[in-house]
């Protein structure tokens, strides 16, 4: 009986020991579980790229007015025939030929004119002989006027015959000049220096007076007729420099000669006439674009490498105090050299990524380095 009580006491002690151990283990697991629930310490974000930054700069930018228009001849001369009913014998020039003032362009057959000239010369000689006879008779009549051998009526007849013979000679000489002029008109001459732009003349054709034979660009000069909005006409003055670029050609220097005094009521555009420098790429009738240089003005600019083009819009990447980039949509304007004007969407004191923005996304962290150190800095792998 005593032994059974002793064993029962030992069992109780064993069970108490096991229970304490179990409680201690449970407590330990609970503590560990609580430790696992504690937040892990924050890990600093690694920079995605090493970049340099830049600020918008105030730059003197040229003020320009853009316009479109056509290139045309400064003045176009129409060369026709003055002779009537003559056959065209020879054509000496063609389209594109450069001619000089007085150069023979075409000739008509001169046979008929030469015959007329010979005939009028004979008539002139006859009139000269008649005048000589009449002058001699008048001279004798004057000598006998005081002697009374001739009546006053006879003397007046001799003097009148002399004057009539003189008038006939003058008329024949005038007719001879007309025939000589017609003979010269059998040659078609260039009225000025220039370039032949059109040819209508055909060998063998019998043409009436006034028939067009050629067209010529006087002095080879071309002009650009720019269509400018009425609101901009007041800012354009004669003598201003213009840069004109024809389709498929290089820029040509020009100078404003005249601003049209009227505006088209339908388009509300006015014509500005611009004299062009000689250029091989320019042709009359070509379409061309141009820029009028009207002065200079101040504007905020950035390097073109800092402006990104995405989906048809321009963006820059601003760098914040926490070295994170944020995308900003901007409006751009003129381009001068390697810089581009920012007309809106960006503060003048904003720091933006100078280059390499195409490798960054909105919210990326960057490491800002000096411009001189950028050449040696290596990009850090992006960490998301």
CA angle 329, 330, 334 (to 5 degrees): 150
Assess contact for 67 and 228: CB atoms under 8 A. Answer: yes
Residue 101 CA to residue 5 CA, distance in Å, equals: 151
- Token readout for 367 is 């490491």
Q: 130: which strand partners?
A: none
User: Buried b vs exposed e over 51-69: b needs ≥16 C-beta within 10 Å?
Assistant: bbbbebeebebeeebebeb
Topology of domain 76-207, CATH: Helix Hairpins (1.10.287)
Strands (E), 128-268: 187-189, 194-199, 206-207, 212-218, 222-229, 241-246, 252-263
Q: 194: which strand partners?
A: 99, 218
pLDDT tens digits, 308-336: 888 888 988 888 888 888 888 899 888 88
pLDDT tens digits, 29-62: 444 545 454 554 444 556 667 788 888 888 888 7
User: Buried b vs exposed e over 289-323: b needs ≥16 C-beta within 10 Å?
Assistant: bbbbebeeeebbbbeebbbbeeeeebbbbbbeeee
**Among positive and negative, which fits the CA dihedral 47, 50, 55, 60?**
negative
CATH class for the domain made up of 50-55+307-368? mainly beta
User: Each residue's pLDDT tens digit in the chain (384 positions)?
Assistant: 444 444 455 555 555 555 555 555 555 544 454 545 455 444 455 666 778 888 888 888 878 899 999 999 999 999 999 888 889 999 999 999 999 999 999 999 988 888 888 888 898 898 889 889 888 888 877 777 777 777 778 878 888 888 888 999 899 889 888 888 888 888 999 999 999 999 999 999 998 988 999 999 999 999 999 999 999 999 999 999 999 999 888 899 999 999 999 999 999 999 999 999 988 888 999 999 999 988 887 888 888 888 888 888 898 888 888 888 888 889 988 888 888 888 888 888 888 888 877 777 778 888 888 754 444 444 433 332
- Token readout for 98 is 């450069």
Q: 198: which strand partners?
A: 215
pTM for the whole structure: 0.61
Residue 55 CA to residue 60 CA, distance in Å, equals: 16
Assess contact for 351 and 53: CB atoms under 8 A. Answer: yes
- DSSP annotation of 44: P
Residue 227 CA to residue 70 CA, distance in Å, equals: 9
DSSP 282-327: --TT-EEEEEEEEEEEEEEEEEGGG-EEETTEEEEEEE-TTSBEEE
CA distances from 54 to 304, 341, 347, 348 (A): 12, 14, 12, 11
CATH class for the domain made up of 65-74+221-295? mainly beta
Q: 108: which strand partners?
A: 88
Question: Counting every residue, how long is the chain?
Answer: 384
Residue 219 CA to residue 235 CA, distance in Å, equals: 30
Residue 255 CA to residue 169 CA, distance in Å, equals: 58
Q: What is the dihedral of CA 350, 355, 361, 363, to 10 degrees?
A: -30
CA distances from 127 to 132, 136, 260, 304 (A): 9, 14, 59, 90
């Amino acid at each position: 009986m005593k032994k059974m009580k002793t064993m029962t006491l030992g069992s109780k002690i064993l069970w108490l020991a096991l229970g304490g151990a179990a409680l201690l283990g449970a407590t330990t697991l609970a503590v560990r579980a609580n430790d696992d629930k504690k937040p892990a310490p924050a890990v600093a974000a690694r920079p995605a790229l090493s970049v340099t930054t830049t600020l918008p700069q105030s730059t003197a930018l040229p003020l320009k007015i853009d316009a479109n228009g056509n290139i045309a001849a400064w003045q176009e001369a129409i060369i026709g025939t003055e002779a009537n009913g003559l056959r065209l014998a020879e054509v000496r020039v063609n389209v594109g030929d450069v001619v000089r003032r007085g150069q023979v362009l075409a000739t008509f057959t001169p046979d008929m004119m030469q015959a007329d000239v010979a005939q009028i010369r004979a008539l002139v000689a006859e009139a000269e002989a008649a005048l000589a006879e009449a002058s001699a008779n008048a001279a004798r009549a004057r000598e006998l006027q005081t002697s009374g051998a001739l009546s006053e009526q006879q003397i007046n007849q001799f003097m009148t015959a002399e004057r009539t013979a003189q008038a006939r000679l003058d008329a024949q000489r005038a007719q001879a000049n007309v025939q000589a002029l017609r003979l010269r008109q059998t040659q078609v001459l260039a009225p000025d220096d220039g370039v032949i732009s059109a040819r209508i003349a055909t060998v063998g054709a019998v043409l009436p007076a006034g028939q067009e034979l050629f067209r010529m660009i006087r002095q080879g000069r071309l002009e650009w007729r720019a269509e400018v909005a009425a609101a901009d006409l007041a800012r354009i003055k004669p003598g201003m420099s213009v840069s004109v670029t024809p389709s498929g050609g290089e820029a040509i220097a020009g100078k404003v000669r005249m601003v049209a005094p009227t505006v088209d009521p339908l388009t509300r555009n006015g014509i500005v006439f611009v004299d062009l420098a000689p250029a091989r790429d320019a042709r009359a009738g070509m379409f061309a674009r141009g820029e009028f240089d009207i002065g200079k003005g101040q504007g905020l600019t950035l390097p073109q490498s800092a402006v990104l083009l995405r989906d048809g819009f321009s963006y820059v990447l601003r760098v914040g105090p926490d070295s994170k980039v944020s995308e900003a949509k901007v409006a751009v304007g003129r381009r001068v050299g390697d810089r581009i004007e920012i007309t809106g969407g960006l503060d003048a004191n904003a720091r933006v990524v100078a280059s390499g923005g195409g490798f960054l996304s909105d919210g990326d962290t960057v490491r800002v380095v000096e411009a001189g150190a950028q050449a040696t800095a290596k990009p850090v792998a992006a960490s998301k």
